[in-house]
Amino acid sequence: MIEGRVWTFGDDVNTDVIMPGKYLNMRNPAELAPYIMEGLDPDFARKAKPGDVLVAGKNFGCGSSRETAPAGLHAFGIGAVIAVSFARIFLRNAINIGLPVLECAEAARALAGGDRVTVDVTTGAILDAATGRRWHAAPFPETLQALIREGGLVPYVRRRLAGGTR
Amino acid sequence: MGMTITEKIIAAHASRAAVAPGEFVTVRVDLAMGNDLSTAGAIGVLRKMEARRVFDPDKVVIVFDHVVPAKDIAAATMLTAVRAWVREQGLPHVYDEGRQGIAHVVLPEQGFALPGDLIIGGDSHTCTYGAVGAFSAGVGHTDLAGVLALGETWLKVPASQRFVYHGTPGRFVMGKDLILATLGRITIDGARYEAMEFAGPAIERLGMSDRLTMCNMAIEAGAKSGIIAPDDVTLEYVRPRARRAFTPYRSDPDARYAAEHEFDVGRLRPMVAKPFSPDNVVPVDEVAGTRLDQVFIGSCTNAKLEDLRVAAAILKGRKAHPYTRLIVIPASTWIWQQALREGLLEIFSEAGAAVSTPTCGACFGGHMGILGRNEVCLSTSNRNFVGRMGDPTAQSYLANPAVAAASAIKGAIAAPDEVL
């Protein structure tokens, strides 16, 4: 269960603003954390706190495939990203590394910066305790749910290799 | 029911007779591509996966392109780790400094990306290889590690949108203009999670360089892949360089599309994407006169030999404006050498350009042409997001190499017919 403050962003937030190119050769995610969302708000990492929730419009994470974008958000401790929709590569990357992502247009449109939400990333339930508003993110297809249950791609591949399937 | 070329390639790699959009399938890959950055990321993930060997060294291509020659100490450290891993794995297909190029230009050029292939690469512009009739999609470095370990990955079969181009483009109208016009119409998420299939008489007349440019920017509409069915132009390009046998596919006449779009390229002007999105597209004439601090001719999108020839034909005997920096970065070592032999590099240098060895560099704000505060650039690359090429206050316009060359001479955005 995640509980945090909402920070809102618009449509088509690209990975260049989530994690600018100058940080691409940093390999340790912890080093990336101070720079998240720098392209849109250079002070974001000083204002936000671990557990906080990003809420955005359509096509979140479009553009470059850089995994430093979700890795930076994850290392910072961003609790979840709720969006109307996600760009394909960002969605795969987030699921692979265990950054909770929820597609829920209703919540994404209703929530405002400063709201506090509780997110159950396993069920997709989103609750605004102050007002009692509730939403439910669309469940991911079974293939992705299985990957999420397993803890991401690393444990999945490790199990496959250990099982001798390759 | 008929299938699209994309569905046929995915079905063949999933050992299925047929697949339909929305299905999840596991596919075998013919080729896995890692660049310097994504390979560095994947190496750490492979260790966590306890994967000691790549699935098949012959099906892996590693291309150093983003930060070569090492742009700083962190990059040097990273490149050292990639080189050590490549040697430990005994990988045969490695393009390091001196042979380097931008992966998306190197793979087709060196005969790795072939019709009917299923290719996964650790870079968003991996969709470029659709130009040879391959299904090809970009992933992050964890997915790349998974592919390197297993030789397979999961895919959601994408719905396809068909883009049909009619007419004969005018002088200085290139593949870049067709794809920019397309992005302007369907916008930055107009093909999200879908395949873009380019077809029609204007595509059939297009050379491989322009086709590569078009498929390269499919990701700019959110697409998983871009593709053009192989024809005589493709086969003429592919046959002399193919490293393996290959299987060309075509869409069935009764294949289903999520949407179909028609374009008349006969009336198309050279197009420009204004800051801060590649879908913010207008004809060049609407922004002509915009002062420029820098012109960048480079990137996986538009620094192929044909692109350099177009730019050089305009720059020959002329000079870049004294207040405008011109940077030319050929996309591969082979192109660099060919441009040297043809005298193109001399033309650029005489025009006042800084000409460098191949790198993605300036395109992603990494090195070799970073923009400062409030600077304005016109670039032949693919993205102009806030901060993409440097300072967040800098602005980038995207255009074809002819517009770039003309604009460098004028010191301001210009249509090529203005300077010739």
Give domain status of residue B224, yes or no: yes
Please name the amino acid found at residue B119. I
Are B153 and B222 contained in the same domain? yes
Q: Tell me, what's the pLDDT at A25?
A: 84
Give domain status of residue B304, yes or no: yes
Contact B141 A21 (CB under 8 A): no
- Who contacts B181 (Cβ-Cβ below 8 Å, separation ≥6)? B263, B265, B268, B271, B281
Are B228 and B307 contained in the same domain? no
The CATH number of residue B389's host domain is 3.30.499.10
Provide the β-strand partners of residue B161. B196, B259
Q: Tell me, what's the pLDDT at A164?
A: 61
B282-302: average pLDDT: 98
Chain B nearest CA to A25, separation (Å) = 6
Reduced to 3 states (helix: H, G, I; strand: E, B; else coil), residue A136 is strand
Last residue within a domain, chosen from B263, B290, B318: B263
What count of Cα atoms within 13 Å lies in the side-chain half-sphere of residue B235?
9
B98-113: average pLDDT: 98
Please confirm whether the linkage preceding B69 is cis (ω < 30° from 0).
yes
- Domain extent, residue B318, equals 271-419
Closest partner CB to A65 (pick from B48, B138, B149): B138
Maximum CA extent, chain A: 52
Structurally, how many domains does chain B consist of? Answer: 2
pLDDT digits (tens, 9 = 90+) for B372-418: 999 999 999 999 999 999 999 999 999 999 999 999 999 999 999 98
B74 near A CB under 8 A: yes
CA distance B292 to B114: 39
Mean pLDDT across chain B, nearest whole number?
A: 98
CA distance A152 to A92: 10
Burial of B281 from C-beta contacts in 10 A (0-12 / 13-18 / 19+) = buried
pLDDT at B48 over 60: yes
CA distance B253 to B262: 17
Alpha carbon of B177 to those of A45, B212, B264: distances in Å? 39, 13, 12
Closest partner CB to B366 (pick from A21, A40, A147): A21
Please name the amino acid found at residue A122. T
The fraction of chain B above a pLDDT of 90, given in percent, is 99
Are B9 and B94 contained in the same domain? yes
Last residue within a domain, chosen from B263, B297, B320: B263
Give domain status of residue B102, yes or no: yes
pLDDT at B133 over 60: yes
Q: Are strands B160-166 and B259-264 parallel, antiparallel or unpaired?
A: parallel
CA distance B91 to A109: 49
Residue with tokens 């969709």: B127
CA distance B416 to B420: 7
Give domain status of residue B135, yes or no: yes
Q: What ipTM was estimated for this complex? A: 0.97
Chain A nearest CA to B65, separation (Å) = 12
B51 near A CB under 8 A: yes
Are B409 and B300 contained in the same domain? yes
CA distance B165 to B263: 5
pLDDT at A166 over 50: no
Chain B nearest CA to A10, separation (Å) = 14
Q: Which domains does chain A have, with CATH numbers?
A: 2-137 (3.20.19.10)
Are B57 and B33 contained in the same domain? yes
DSSP B82-106: HHHHHHHHT-S-EE-TTT-B-HHHH
Are B217 and B289 contained in the same domain? no
Chain A nearest CA to B56, separation (Å) = 11
B104 near A CB under 8 A: no
Provide the β-strand partners of residue B165. B263
Give domain status of residue B321, yes or no: yes
A34-64: buried (b, 16+ CB within 10 Å) or exposed (e) per residue?
Answer: ebbbbbbeeebbeebeeebbbbbbbbbbbbb
Are B310 and B192 contained in the same domain? no
pLDDT digits (tens, 9 = 90+) for A68-87: 999 999 999 999 999 999 99
Copy the structure tokens of residue A113: 């910066």
A150 near B CB under 8 A: no
- Residue of chain B with shortest Cα separation from A22: B366
- Who contacts B342 (Cβ-Cβ below 8 Å, separation ≥6)? B309
pLDDT at A89 over 70: yes
Are B100 and B235 contained in the same domain? yes
Are B95 and B202 contained in the same domain? yes
Last residue within a domain, chosen from B233, B263, B293: B263
pTM above 0.90, yes or no: yes
Q: B411 near B321, Cβ under 8 Å?
A: yes
Are B221 and B312 contained in the same domain? no
Contact A65 B71 (CB under 8 A): no
pLDDT digits (tens, 9 = 90+) for A132-162: 999 999 889 999 999 999 999 999 999 999 9
Q: Which of A13, A10, A16, A9 is nearest to A65 (CA)?
A: A16
Closest partner CB to A21 (pick from B49, B142, B364): B364
Give domain status of residue B250, yes or no: no
Are B259 and B291 contained in the same domain? no
Provide the β-strand partners of residue B120. B32, B137
Q: Tell me, what's the pLDDT at A165?
A: 52
pLDDT digits (tens, 9 = 90+) for B192-232: 999 999 999 999 999 999 999 999 999 999 999 999 999 99
pLDDT digits (tens, 9 = 90+) for B260-274: 999 999 999 999 999
Are B356 and B383 contained in the same domain? yes
Please name the amino acid found at residue A113. G
